[in-house]
A = this chain, B = another copy of it.
Amino acid sequence: MKRRQFLARAGVAAAAPIAAAGPLAAPALAQGKIEWKMVTSWPKNAPGVGINAQRLADRITALSEGRLSVKLYSAGELVPPFGGFDAVTSGAAELCHATPYYWSGKAKALHYFTGVPFGLTAPEMMGWIYFGGAQALWDEVYAPFGVKGFYVGSSGVQSGGWFRNEVKSAADLKGLKFRIAGLGGDVMKKLGVIVTLTPPGEIFAAMQSGAVDAAEWVGPWNDLAFGLHRIAKFYYQPGFFEPGPALELLVDKKKFDALPPILQKVIEQASQATAAETLADFTRHNIEALEPLVREHGVQMKLWPADVVKASGKAWKEVQAEVAASDALTGKVNASFNAYLTKARRWARWSDYAMLRAREDGLA
């Protein structure tokens, strides 16, 4: 799908959810029903993120039988793409679908609840959040701001980024202007990269105008929809900065606590159902998008040169030490994350890694 088509289709589809929610608004309020606003960082109906946010809103509305009706606002409709946290803390919106590290300026520890370079895969991350003590830590980080985060899924392993020219060694990265989010940006800075964090909806334009030389967004499915293959042909794998980044539903804690228990349960369970659906959605669509990228659009799939991975790993250890030292709570979160990751790596060598290798050996 070309970018213009994507935007056009998005525009057409955009009206539907709002129009559908519209007629409900007045009678809903009249019957003592609750209407909440969900802002997002995503363009309207962006594959994966935008559509899954819409499905989460619809799921809460449906499971609550309209007692809690959620209306979605895409990036820029109510607040700017990165304005979700302020919207929820100021009371302008009750909910925000985004990812925790977008608010890392408020609390460094939030990076870990999205994920960090060379960190956890999506199933490992779900294990840490749901059963490894991370939800309690996450609640502790958010408590001073009066908000709470729910895990709502992941893209799975992300891609490393689109480059106009081949990256033959770490030296080729020096001086490049690269759109990259999160701590991966800090890692890249140590490799001499000039890092910018362009909002999702503006990445294509930044690439087209030359404001950036290279950009990472998500993976084949989402990047194809944004049209990044039209500008750069070298597609580097994997996105070792983001092995299993988490999406979040950010909630105004005070308003959440004031809800009847059944509506709290609905938000919690709808988030969990969205977690499964979102991972499935990205996985399936990345699987399908790879072939057209390569066959129809002439994209060259590339693994990072070994020295880029090595240098990035070394740089990440330095960045991680700095991040962990920023405050006591971030140090505590880092320690929990690291302890779990060490064990997760050990198990992955026998399970996921050994399995993917055995699958290739067995079916060869």
Contact surface of A with B, Cβ cutoff 8 Å: 59, 62-63, 65, 117-118, 121-124, 126-132, 153, 156-157, 159, 219-220, 237-240, 243, 262, 265-266, 269-270, 272-273, 275-277, 279-281, 283-288, 290-291, 301, 303-304, 306, 309-310, 312-313, 316-317, 340, 343-364
Contact B286 A347 (CB under 8 A): yes
* Minimum distance in angstroms from A159 CB to a CB of chain B: 8
> Among B124, B219, B287, B317, which residue has its beta carbon within 8 angstroms of that of A127?
B287
A364 and B306 CA atoms in complex are apart in Å by 12
Contact A359 B118 (CB under 8 A): yes
Contact A131 B303 (CB under 8 A): no
Contacts of A279 in B (CB 8 A): 123, 126, 276
Contact B240 A355 (CB under 8 A): yes
Contacts of A288 in B (CB 8 A): 343
Q: Which residue of B lies closest to A239 (CB)?
A: B355
Contact B128 A284 (CB under 8 A): yes
Q: Which 8 A-B pairs have the closest CB atoms?
A: A313-B362, A127-B284, A126-B280, A272-B273, A127-B283, A157-B351, A276-B276, A131-B284
Contact A355 B287 (CB under 8 A): no
With A240-B358, A272-B273, A277-B130: A121-B352 Cβ-Cβ less than 8 Å:
yes
A240 and B357 CA atoms in complex are apart in Å by 10
> Among B65, B118, B239, B359, which residue has its beta carbon within 8 angstroms of that of A262?
B65
Of the listed residues A130, A269, A345, the one surrounded by the most CB atoms of chain B closer than 10 A to its CB is: A269
With A238-B355, A276-B273: A309-B265 Cβ-Cβ less than 8 Å:
no
Contact B237 A351 (CB under 8 A): yes
